[in-house]
Amino acid sequence: SNAICNFVICNDSSLRSQPIIFNPDFFVEKLRHEKPEVFTELVVSNITRLIDLPGAELAQLMGEEDPKLPGTNTASGFFRSLMTLKRKEKGVVFGSPLTEEGIAQVSQLIEYLHKNLRAEGLFRVPGNSIRQQILKDALNSGTDIDLDSGDFHSNDVATLLKMFLGELPEPLLTHKHFHAHLKIADLTLFDEKGNKTSTPDKERQIEALQLLFLILPAPNRSLLKLLLDLLYQTAKKQDKNKMSAHNLALMFAPHILWPRNVTANDLQENITKLNNGVTFMIKHSQKLFKAPAYIRECARLHYLGSRAHASKDDLDLLTSPGSKELQPLKSQKRSRLDSCHQEETQQRTEEALKELFRHVHNMPDSAKKKKLLRQFNKHSAALTPDSEVLMSPAPRRTRSRSFSGLIKRKVLGTPVILERKSRDATPEPERVSKENIHLVRAAPSTA
């Protein structure tokens, strides 16, 4: 739990101008990779706090049972069989399980589309099938592609991106998360008490999606973020491309959320719910890939322990609106951290002052020693004016109250006080204060 910080001074002005990147989810990612079981249990326990998942659906989410999806127990029709056969034709990128290599290839399409969001009917108007096949073959073979050459239209690229998602062996949001997404969509219809409402609980829905995205496989989560960012930017330019968030959801829900090998008849009443869920993801995509504040805090405490100090970013998040039910718990954690910090600082201060006074006291008698003692007493009194102890060793002066006197008693012991009292005795009793007489009488005997 002991951390060592290294500071590097950089004289390169070009490097100094670069922004410093701080990842507030650092410990979250660390816990996810190093202790996935602990991480999954932490996240899932909070998901079940927000949505009701019966035993079978919870086991599917945890990967303990195979997902039971709509349409799997019904007779397969011609359309379902056609889709199954189509997905058996696997390529290096298209039709294969999601990999980092596949994401690297497809990210070229996403990057190109970010620069061409004004095309009317983007993702709705199909492109040229011949150009799409050429582009698909190039991506499968790993050939370098110059999309800015003008050989391809933005509709070609948009259609090919949907084709890639549709040919994945399972939807981008995975089969085992399907029932959880249905329950999260219900948060727009019911309040936290389970009563029907016309006011959707958006903050609760965002929190549930944040948690669910945390336990997605890493490649799925990476591509999902790239995709939702693209769709969010596309919807912002709907005045040009005529594609709202809802229109985009209609195009992408079957590819990223619907279970594979199912038809619209299999989903029936859930289609509207699923489409609305994807619409919500697009509109709030900029918030969905941040871990909730309490997950950050738990992950940080797992590694640093309760004595570590919360960063300013964490404290800001803990006091942010939208998480009122967590405020008492967070306040307790913060007060516990503050008390530990104050106790540790106080202890270190005491040790440092003891060592300083011991060094000055052991110096031979001289004007310099007296000057140092006066400075020591002065600064100690300024730091701790409320400590009721003897401070100044000088005779015939009223002794003030400070922290240094307490250090003298701890370092030199009570007998030293008695010895100095007897040595500095004077025939003028009126110069000795009542407080000093009281302290001398109260001191224990050295016999």
List the domain boundaries for the chain: 37-69+90-287
Which tens digits make up the pLDDT trace of 338-360?
555 566 666 667 777 777 777 77
Exposure class string for 145-158: b at 16+ Cβ within 10 A, else e: bebeeeebbbbbbb
CB neighbour class for 243 (10 Å; exposed up to 12, middle 13-18, buried from 19) = buried
Q: Is the pLDDT of residue 314 over 80?
A: no
CATH superfamily of 37-69+90-287: Rho GTPase activation protein (1.10.555.10)
Which tens digits make up the pLDDT trace of 172-183?
999 999 999 998
Of 238, 230, 256, the residue nearest 158 (C-alpha): 230
Q: What DSSP character marks residue 263?
A: -
Task: Return d(Cα 156, Cα 149) in angstroms, integer.
Answer: 14
Task: Return d(Cα 123, Cα 116) in angstroms, integer.
Answer: 12
DSSP sequence for 153-171: -HHHHHHHHHHHHHTSSS-
pTM above 0.85, yes or no: no
336 within 8 A of 342, measured Cβ to Cβ? no
Which tens digits make up the pLDDT trace of 124-160?
999 899 999 999 999 998 887 889 888 899 999 999 9
Task: Return d(Cα 257, Cα 249) in angstroms, integer.
Answer: 10
391 within 8 A of 380, measured Cβ to Cβ? yes
What average pLDDT does the segment 214-240 reach? 96
46: Cβ contacts below 8 Å, ≥ 6 apart: 211, 292, 294, 295
Of 382, 376, 385, the residue nearest 356 (C-alpha): 376
